Chains A and B, each alone.
Chain A
């Protein structure tokens, strides 16, 4: 398994190669094959976002408006360490020093990337020019600060954002048919004018008639969506998960409270998009069902409103093996694996279905993002050779066991028969 992990303490990118079963917390456990540092950055930065752009570039967005483009090194070509992940260009965006990058999105149809900042400004950077002479286009999408900016992967040009006291909004940033040719024309900035197409409304006041505060931290678009509309999920800093259907109305169709602490990340737990994996600012990494809802799970008794019952999505389990102690920022999934990394400086690999810990590697730096380069274990010839006979031996042992059991049974029957015979003779 090969991962790229961003390091907050040193601003580096670490390439980690290990196999399933690796556990650095055990004294004689399996150790990772290699941990190497790349993409050194003279400045100390935190909140690094990593992106694999079409397997050609590795892009890192850092604090203070730094966006670096590195050569994405394909594993088939053997290169010296110095040659790998070579810095091709570094964009310096004109943002405030304290402005926090919140998203890094690849737009493959436009051969561009989007870098979003907390202040509500997003930058479009075109990468089709190999000399990187392109001037990033700033677009103001929101006057209020935003905490998340996401792309709808199922509809080109559709984005969503939200933040503190800034409820979820869906915008069309550019026309669906737009392609990379637009960057060659002079009227580039005219092609990117955000149009708000959906503006979410806050949930109704609670039973004490108090306004429910808003702070969106994550948005996820669902694949199945109605005609002329979208379905999406939001996560909040108050531990809520909300489901929206834009054709149903501006308020969420469902509003669940899943945890007490702020939710940091939200990802789908399966291909059918019926489960979500949530991480919070404490040590929670949990899987919730979106279809299996316990209608009466939450109960409170109010003097004015009487008994209040609220639905809660079923907790399908926590990824607690491996003793996570801190907030989890970096999360990456594929069909079978969940990879997490956060403030406790470990990368953990879980089986997404059984939630078993498959590997745990101490990285030594605080992790803000993780990308999977290769999810398959790389076995050396020796290991391959060692693994095959093991299975055969096991089989043989199984066979032997079965034989034994059979013979035991036969004996039992024989004994019974004998007894019967004896009784008869009596």
Chain B
């Protein structure tokens, strides 16, 4: 709104009248924008090159595009990590799932949700007398490749710990925005096929390690006839978990049906070994700079 209109509005002493005038102005402006848009759309339908031109020149600035420079994105990955042996051995994943001590109903319900898509998974009820390190030792002796612990606090699922066996590393993620399949409108029913895995935007050195973790959880030979995909999409350090079934409707169009569940993970801590020395830990002050991302 131009300076003169805002001045003019200020001069209206009656508040209701002022609000009314303002609303009218706003409405007119919106209407103008919409007509402009529809006209542009019409023009672009007639001549698609116009649209391409506009999209090429008009690139909006986002937080991602203004991200703080991180040299680890372009740097080559050197040496081998703790996952290397697992990938070389060609072992199939074998997962042990448990909860935090004294877990309540929600934790078991979440375990049920996870068991729907985790391959080769065994759930064990957590016993108080064993520490995480001891459980990890028992599990690695029995050829498990991953230990997952659901963290529940005050009847809410708050986190997930992933311990790669036998030597670590350990990851702790917090969980938010959990939605069960039933809560998703138009959801489908998943089949038992091994899903395909899509990992998006795991770019930095730390991000690549996180990517390796998720790779190690799912078998590397998806059953394509199942047409199921699990997506772990990282955006601004939040990792979104989604599961879909796709269908090729024709040569151009692909249909997606969500299978659920949905939840969001955020890395809080990464440790060497089984809960050993910290490699990376989230601190509140890391969020001070909105353009700095770690994954």
Contacts and interface: CB of A to CB of B under 8 A. Distances in A.
A9 B81 CA distance: 6
Interface string B69-81: 1111001111111
Interface in A250-265: 264
Contacts of A283: 278, 281
A125 B29 CA distance: 85
A28 B92 CA distance: 45
B291 to A, nearest CB: 13
Given A326-B279, A327-B278, A44 B71 contact: no
B220 interface: no
B79 A7 contact: yes
A343 interface: yes
Interface string A339-361: 00001110000000000000000
A344 B279 contact: yes
A10 B272 CA distance: 16
A7 B278 CA distance: 17
B71 A281 contact: no
Contacts of B138: none
A281 B278 contact: yes
A26 interface: yes
A373 B280 CA distance: 29
Given A345-B205, A364-B78, A327 B69 contact: no
Contacts of A26: 69
A100 B225 CA distance: 49
A26 B69 CA distance: 7
Contacts of B72: 345, 362, 364
Given A343-B272, A362-B71, A10 B78 contact: yes
Contacts of B281: 282-283, 325
Interface in B92-106: none
Contacts of A344: 279-280
Contacts of A10: 78-80
Interface in B249-293: 272, 276-281
A25 B78 contact: no
A270 B77 CA distance: 37
A365 B79 contact: yes
B279 A25 contact: no
A24 interface: yes
Contacts of A365: 78-79
Contacts of A282: 278, 281
Nearest to A7: B79
A44 B81 CA distance: 9
Nearest to B294: A325
A25 B204 CA distance: 12
A204 B131 CA distance: 29
A296 interface: no
A9 B280 contact: no
Contacts, number: 60
By size class, the interface of chain B is 20 to 34
Contacts of B70: 25
Interface in B206-240: none
B79 A326 contact: no
A392 to B, nearest CB: 33
Interface string A218-260: 0000000000000000000000000000000000000000000
B83 to A, nearest CB: 12
B278 A9 contact: no
B277 A281 contact: yes
A364 B76 contact: yes
Nearest to A24: B71
Interface in A1-60: 7-12, 24-27, 44
A47 to B, nearest CB: 11
Contact of B71 (A12, A25, A327): A25
Which among A8, A26, A282, A325 has the highest number of chain B CB atoms within 10 Å? A325
Contacts of B76: 364
B69 A25 contact: yes
B75 A326 contact: no
Which of the listed residues B75, B80, B84, B279 has the most CB atoms from chain A within 10 Å of its own CB? B279
A148 to B, nearest CB: 16
Given A25-B69, A26-B69, A362-B72, A327 B79 contact: no
Contacts of B75: 362, 364
B64 to A, nearest CB: 16
A76 to B, nearest CB: 30
Nearest to A363: B78
Interface string B59-71: 0000000000111
Contacts of B277: 264, 281, 326-327, 343
A12 to B, nearest CB: 8
B67 to A, nearest CB: 11
A364 B72 CA distance: 8
A387 B71 CA distance: 27
Contact of A9 (B69, B71, B78, B276): B78
Contacts of A326: 277-280
A326 B78 CA distance: 18
Contacts of B69: 25-27
A326 B272 CA distance: 10
Interface string B105-128: 000000000000000000000000
- Of listed B79, B272, B281, residue having the most chain A CB within 10 A: B79
Given A9-B81, A364-B76, A327 B279 contact: yes
A24 B279 CA distance: 20
Nearest to B205: A345
Given A26-B69, A345-B205, A362-B71, A325 B80 contact: no
B136 to A, nearest CB: 16
Given A44-B79, A343-B279, A365-B79, 8 more contacts: A9-B81, A281-B276, A281-B278, A283-B281, A327-B278, A343-B272, A345-B72, A362-B72
18 contacts: A7-B78, A7-B79, A8-B79, A9-B80, A10-B78, A10-B79, A25-B70, A27-B69, A282-B281, A326-B279, A326-B280, A327-B278, A344-B279, A362-B71, A362-B72, A362-B75, A364-B72, A364-B78
Interface of A: 7-12, 24-27, 44, 264, 281-283, 325-327, 343-345, 362, 364-365
7 pairs of A and B residues whose beta carbons are closest in the complex? A9-B79, A10-B79, A327-B277, A27-B69, A281-B277, A343-B279, A326-B279
